[in-house]
């Protein structure tokens, strides 16, 4: 029986297509973007998903935090859907995701548990075909971790009922060997000043662990985050299992690279954990 492999969709665009060049770039980003402190009992991270030239530095800080706590065996990656709309959340029904650095196997038992414990999380290929937000997380994981598996989840509708259902099902599987990665960028195509104003709402909500308020702010357009539902689901999951600390690790925007401050995209990375 043929294996179902999700081939890379944005290699050569969002990150290098050549495996050596890609690995060297990720290693360089990790080496140059260290967190200021250590974190224990990590539930997950928030990581941006633009081209590495724009958001790679911010992402690298979060992956360094994971690298310091690399006892996880499974990464559940929660991504928004940029390409297609559908109700609920779709877990890839294949055998592996592939990048230029090789294949990453699907954690099928964990995936089945997530689906079995939810009415609105299902197996399929919806949202996975060309989605970059999930794919760009993988090379970072492949560089910091030799052996691991993933559960790739794309959210097709970020309405609150689907986010709460996802969080509820994630609580059944998250433990010290399983972490959650919420893939999200922030505001899009505002001036740097306006972007900073909008993005600071998200930064403060994450730092204060105010996930209900964050969802309301997103719904009321007090801020923007294309993967905001995934951030809320991660924080809600952490809260239910008793981990109630979060901290933004890095914030930046595309203007820092393009030097066009009239229309920027915001990026942050964050860690969700529990203090000992």
Structural domains of the chain, with CATH: 5-273 (3.40.830.10)
**pTM recorded for the entire structure:** 0.97
Going residue by residue through the chain (276 aa), what tens digit of pLDDT does each one get? 789 999 999 999 999 999 999 999 999 999 999 998 999 899 999 999 999 999 999 999 999 999 987 789 999 999 999 999 999 999 999 999 999 999 999 999 999 999 999 999 999 999 999 999 999 999 999 999 999 999 999 999 999 999 999 999 999 999 999 999 999 999 999 999 999 999 999 999 999 999 999 999 999 999 999 999 999 999 999 999 999 999 999 999 999 999 999 999 999 999 999 856
**C-alpha pair distances (Å), 13 with each of 22, 29, 50, 135:** 12, 17, 10, 12
**pLDDT for 208-239, tens place per residue?**
999 999 999 999 999 999 999 999 999 999 99
Residues forming beta bridges with residue 265, ordered by sequence position: 188
């Amino acid at each position: 029986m043929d294996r179902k492999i999700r081939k890379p969709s944005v290699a050569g665009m969002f990150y290098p297509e050549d495996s050596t060049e890609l690995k060297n770039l990720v290693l360089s980003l990790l080496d140059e973007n260290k967190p200021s402190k250590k974190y224990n009992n990590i539930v997950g991270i928030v990581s941006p998903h633009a081209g590495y030239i724009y958001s790679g530095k911010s992402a690298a800080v979060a992956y360094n935090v994971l690298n310091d706590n690399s006892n996880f065996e499974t990464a559940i990656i929660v991504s928004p859907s940029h390409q297609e709309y559908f109700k609920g959340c779709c877990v890839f029904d294949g055998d592996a995701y592939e990048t230029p650095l090789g294949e990453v196997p699907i954690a099928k038992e964990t995936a089945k548990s997530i689906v079995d414990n939810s009415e609105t999380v299902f197996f399929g290929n919806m949202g996975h075909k060309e989605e970059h937000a999930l794919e760009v997380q993988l090379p970072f994981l492949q560089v910091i971790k030799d052996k691991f598996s993933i559960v790739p989840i794309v959210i097709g509708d970020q309405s609150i009922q689907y986010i709460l259902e996802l969080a509820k099902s994630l609580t059944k599987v998250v433990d010290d060997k399983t972490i959650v990665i919420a893939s999200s960028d922030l505001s899009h195509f505002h001036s740097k000043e306006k972007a900073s104003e909008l993005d600071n709402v998200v930064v403060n909500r994450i730092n204060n662990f105010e996930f209900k308020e964050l969802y309301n702010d997103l719904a009321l357009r007090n801020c923007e985050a294309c993967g905001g539902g995934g951030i809320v689901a991660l924080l809600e999951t952490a809260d239910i299992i008793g981990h109630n600390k979060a901290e933004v690790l890095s914030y930046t925007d595309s203007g820092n690279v393009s030097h066009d401050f009239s229309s920027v995209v915001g990026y942050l990375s964050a860690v969700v954990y529990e203090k000992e």
